[in-house]
Structure 1
Amino acid sequence: MNFEVRNNIASRVARDIPEGAYVNLGIGLPTLVANHLDTNKDIFLHTENGILGRWTAAEEGKEDWDLINAGKEAIQLLSGSAFFHHADSFGMMRGGHLDICVLGAYQVSAEGDLANWHTGNKDAIPAVGGAMDLAVGAKNVFVIMELLSKNGFSKLIQECTYPITGLKCVSRVYTDVATFDIRNDGVYVLEIVSNMTFSDLQKLIPFSLKTV
């Protein structure tokens, strides 16, 4: 996924984050969302290594490596941000205090199951981090991912085949092709962001999609 596409998806997620929301941004692509949030909205970002407030990526050459997000990327804090202990941060995550968390994924099922920490390969190093805490603790889980794997298969599938992070926890999926809402009665296409029809999109997904 190239730089422009990555930022387009992050910008799309940022538009859906409402005024007053407390939001955790996961490692990788989700961290880009911080750069696209509406500065006229009061939105409170949370990171599991112990920051609450607002920030953007640090300018090149002006990095302070004592100021990093959960992905160990240098950030620039905005006025009003706060620091606290790692344990307090996890207390916020597990205690239901986050309105939204934005995570990457290897797979998402039709029922909203999330697989984002391990592909099951024997040589892979398991590193679930705080993903399970976020999956069950946040009120809404937004996933950012490419729709298709490197092998050309949909990552949005009927049932996850990789180790599960959380069951029925994903509420929305943002991809380079379309945005999906996962509801009790099915998966709805909210928006197609590429030059394809609904019929073309349906051919990529191994279960029936619905339209709003």
Structure 2
Amino acid sequence: MMAERQLIIQRAAKEIKSNMYVNLGIGLPTLVANEATADVQHVFYQSENGLLGIGAYPTESAVDADLINAGKETVTAVQGAAYFDSAESFAMIRGGHIDLAILGGMEVSSSGDLANWMIPGKMVKGMGGAMDLVNGAKEVVVIMEHVNKHGESKVKAECTLPLTGRGVVNKLITDLAVFEFTDGKMKLVELLGDATLQEVKDKTEAAFETAWHE
């Protein structure tokens, strides 16, 4: 399981380019920053609870309980970081100033719909910034495992869980493949690891095109 997740994280890190303002969602996406290549510079990571310029996770001796990200994890701040209230932070998101949002997903549909904030009947702390990010960020990349723990596809013809947004996903990265969404259509553009096209077809409920001739 960890090998598959590492594959996702490393591929997602390639989406981060120099001089970007980036928001990383709670969970798996927070690990993406650790994989950014050395040639990617001047990237500022933003957190919707009011910090622009998130640094690495702190060592035990450097933990500051007042310095946290949106997932309530303790973080550090890079030189030049800025602090502000959540209203200012969401104005930044809603105003279209975030270049890239990398978010986790529970389900993604063939038309780029995203469900990632709740499972009915289970406790939910809140939707966080997801609904604002999928509508305000210039590009939305979703990362998740291709199938759930029961082996069922999470890449759906239609999402069955409550939606975060309709047609909001620009790119989906799973442990098997990379898909792009354009004009409501889903296209397979890359296979990851040892995955084959047939395996992706077998594990994908959604209909999709391929970027190459079969």
Q: Which TM-score applies when normalising by structure 2? A: 0.91
Whole-Å Cα distance in 2 between the matches of residues 18 and 104 of structure 1?
A: 19
* Amino acid aligned to 1:59: T
Say if 1:79 and 1:5 are closer, same or farther in 2 by CA, change over 3 A. Answer: farther
Do the aligned partners of 1:43 and 1:54 also contact (CA within 8 Å) in 2? no
| Alpha-carbon RMSD | 1.7
Pair 136,74 (structure 1): closer, same or farther in 2 beyond 3 Å = same
Partner of 2:98: 98
1:78–1:5: structure 2 CA closer, same or farther, 3 Å change rule?
A: farther
The residue number in structure 2 matching 1:166 is 165
Match of 1:159, as an amino acid? E
Change (3 A) 1:126 1:72: closer
CA distance in 2, matches of 1:35, 1:29: 11
Report what 2:147 is aligned to.
148
SS in 1 for 2:200: helix
Structure 1 residue 126, shift from structure 2 partner: 5.9
Q: Could you tell me whether the CA contact under 8 Å between 1:35 and 1:57 is conserved in 2?
A: no
- What residue is the counterpart of 1:79 in the other structure? 79
User: 1:32 offset after TM fit, Å?
Assistant: 0.6
Cα distance, 1:68 vs structure 2: 1.5
The CA distance in 2 between the partners of 1:97 and 1:80, in whole Å, is: 17
Which amino acid in 2 is paired with 1:132? M
Deviation at 1:194, TM superposition (A): 2.9
CA apart distance, 1:73: 1.4
Q: Which residue of 1 aligns with 2:55?
A: 55
Match of 2:21 in 1: 22
Conservation of the 8 A alpha-carbon contact between 1:118 and 1:126: no
Output the amino acid matched with 1:113: D
The Cα of 1:185 is off from its aligned counterpart by 5.9
Counterpart contact for 2:171–2:179, Cα < 8 Å: yes
Instruction: Note closer, same or farther for the CA distance 1:127–1:30 as it changes in structure 2 (3 Å cut).
Output: same
Partner of 2:126: 127
SS at match of 2:80: coil
Aligned residues: 210
Q: TM-score, normalised by structure 1?
A: 0.91
Name 2:46's counterpart in structure 1.
46
Distance 1:184 1:75, change over 3 A: same
Q: Secondary structure at the match of 2:65?
A: coil
Q: Structure 2: which amino acid aligns with 1:89?
A: S
Post-superposition shift, 1:62?
2.9
Q: Rate the CA distance shift 1:39–1:197 in 2: closer, same or farther, 3 A.
A: closer
C-alpha displacement of 1:197: 1.4
C-alpha contact (below 8 Å) 1:174/1:180 kept by paired residues: yes
After TM superposition, give the deviation of residue 207 of structure 1 in Å. Answer: 3.1
Q: 1:150 to 1:44 in 2, by over 3 A?
A: same
Q: Any idea what SS the aligned residue of 1:165 has? A: coil
| Stretches (4+) displaced over 4 A | none
**Cα shift at 1:69:** 1.3
